[in-house]
Amino acid sequence: MPSVYIETYGCQMNLADTELLFGHLGRHGYQRTADPAAADVILLNTCAIREHAEERVVGRLGDLVRFKTRRPAVQLGVAGCMAQHLREQLLARLPFVDFIVGPDAYRRLPEMLGNGGDPFTDIRLDRDETYADIVPQRDGGVRAWVTIMRGCDKFCTFCIVPYVRGRERSLPAAAILDQVRQLAADGYREVVYLGQTVNAYRDGTVGFAELLRRTAAIDGIERVRFTSPHPSDMTDDVVDAMANAPKLCPQVHLPVQSGSDRILERMERGYTVEQYLDLVQRLRRAIPDLALSTDIIVGFPGEEESDFEATVALMRRVGYDNAFMFKYSARSGTKAFKWPETVPDAEKARRLQAIIALQEEQAAAINRTLVGVTTEVLVEGPARRRAGWLVGKTPQFKTLVFPANGEQPGDLVRVRIAETTAHTLVGHREPEA
């Protein structure tokens, strides 16, 4: 039986695509291996969101080629967003790469790999491909990531995603709900719905809110989350669904990107700061214990000190539980790529460090208010750094550790929070009432 080794870069969508690749290749006779030295097929599932992500992959391919030098029959390939973005450059710079497959070409992969070992490139984007019929091979655990839509139609001016993942398309609701029922039967307790703009989901008359309501009604699944929604698609219907179905977790990742209207407009994000803040207010009114996280880019072309200060002000105003913060990275093919970069790298780094420090402070302050509060934890397994302790997540998706006392992964337990840092809560089991 041929074996396949896959390394995944980038976002949760890519991790989910790797599970899909394992599932699909598995059905075609490929056995999964965790050891590249033993693999017949070595595949990197790549990310193109920032230049750094691509550089890492190029470096890693240079490492992995030694397995191919030793055993020339090994097929070494690149899948995912960078494959789609840089196919020509990849082939020119790394002639030892055997195959390149874009995110919509995985269905044909077993056939192409079996084709006598000839090199191939398949980067056709397919408006209809959702892989709805392919059963992912998951790693187990208590949480399953379920892709419900693919692609993006928003075309924010900085972003490569619409070019490498193609147009927006949703999986049929029936296929998603069947998958979730099966996950419940397999012992999963939480599902996280995934999509580039997950709340743009639509299947005929079933929109995102309705899908959430139907999911919450599935027995065995205790928690439902989703990532990443776009602020412009966050309708009142979705907010209502979250407020009224306890299984829909009080947590939203709401990428803002910038706190300056001028920059938001140049980014073509489709909302103003005021509209974003209004959405935050509606969410917080409806869901009082809501945790909010975000994505922020600093150093976008044209970002002045005053625009950056507006981003800082927005962060202070919202008070995010968590934030993913990035230096702008010009991506060829996007609209913004043609605009001169106006913020030198050292200044981008300064701005980034400043908001990272602010975010740490704010997250620590928010978490300090949780000391003494009792929360519900979905147990995942042993804590990494404390022997005899368990780790799990709160409804707000905060990591919590507590001393083990016979609890099993998948248990929902009540824990009283005793200590906190910016990233972790420490607690003790609440005696059962």
> Between residues 161 and 209, which has the closer beta carbon with respect to ligand SF4?
161
Asked if 231 and 256 count as a contact pair (C-beta separation under 8 A), the reply is yes
**Window 268-297: residues binding ligand 5AD (CB under 6 A):** 295, 297
Q: Tell which residue, 51, 46, 38, has the closest CA to residue 4.
A: 38
**Total binding residues for ligand SF4 by CB under 6 A?**
10
Span of 62-70, 277-285, 323-331, 349-357 interacting with ligand 5AD by CB under 6 A? 323-331
Do residues 174 and 218 lie in contact, with contact meaning Cβ atoms separated by under 8 Å?
A: no
Q: What is the Cα–Cα distance from 162 to 151, expressed in whole angstroms?
A: 6
Q: Under rule CB under 6 A, how many of the chain's residues touch ligand 5AD?
A: 12
Phi/psi at 397 (5° precision):
70, 25
Task: Please enumerate in sequence order all residues whose Cβ is within 8 A of that of 73, keeping only pairs 6 or more positions apart, or say none.
Answer: 40, 117
Q: DSSP state, 94?
A: -
Q: How far apart are CA 82 and CA 103, in angstroms?
A: 10
Using CB under 6 A, pick the residue from 6, 113, 159, 323 that binds ligand SF4: 159
Q: How far is the CB of 85 from ligand 5AD (least distance, A)?
A: 11
Q: Which residues contact 384 (CB under 8 A, 6 or more apart)?
A: 391
Binding mask 72-111 for ligand 5AD (x = CB under 6 A): ----------------------------------------
Residues 324-363 that bind ligand 5AD (CB under 6 A): 326, 328-329, 331
Measured from the CB atom, the residue of 162 and 250 that comes closer to ligand SF4 is 162
Binding partner of residue 155 among ligand SF4, ligand 5AD, none, CB under 5 to 8 Å per kind?
Answer: ligand SF4
The item of ligand 5AD, ligand SF4, none sharing an interface with residue 297, based on CB under 5 to 8 Å by kind, is: ligand 5AD
- Name the residue with tokens 């205790």: 222
> Contact with ligand SF4 (CB under 6 A): which of 10, 77, 162, 392?
162
Strands 291-298 and 251-253: parallel
What are phi and psi for residue 284, nearest 5 degrees? -70, -30
∠ CA 381-384-387, nearest 5°, is 85
**Residue 109 or 148 with smaller CB distance to ligand SF4:** 148
- Partner residues linked to 225 by β-bridges: 192
328 contacts which partner out of ligand SF4, ligand 5AD, none, CB within 5 to 8 A by kind? ligand 5AD
Site for ligand SF4 in 201-260 (CB under 6 A): 230
Q: Which of 364, 363, 421, 419 is nearest to 402 (CA)?
A: 419
29 vs 3: CA distance, rounded Å = 8
User: Quick check: 50 binds ligand 5AD (CB under 6 A)?
Assistant: yes
Question: Interface with ligand SF4 by CB under 6 A: which range of 18-26, 88-96, 159-167, 212-220?
Answer: 159-167
Residues of the shown chain interacting with ligand SF4 in the complex, contacts defined by CB under 6 A: 152, 154-156, 159, 161-162, 196-197, 230
Residues of the shown chain interacting with ligand 5AD in the complex, contacts defined by CB under 6 A: 49-50, 158-159, 255, 257, 295, 297, 326, 328-329, 331
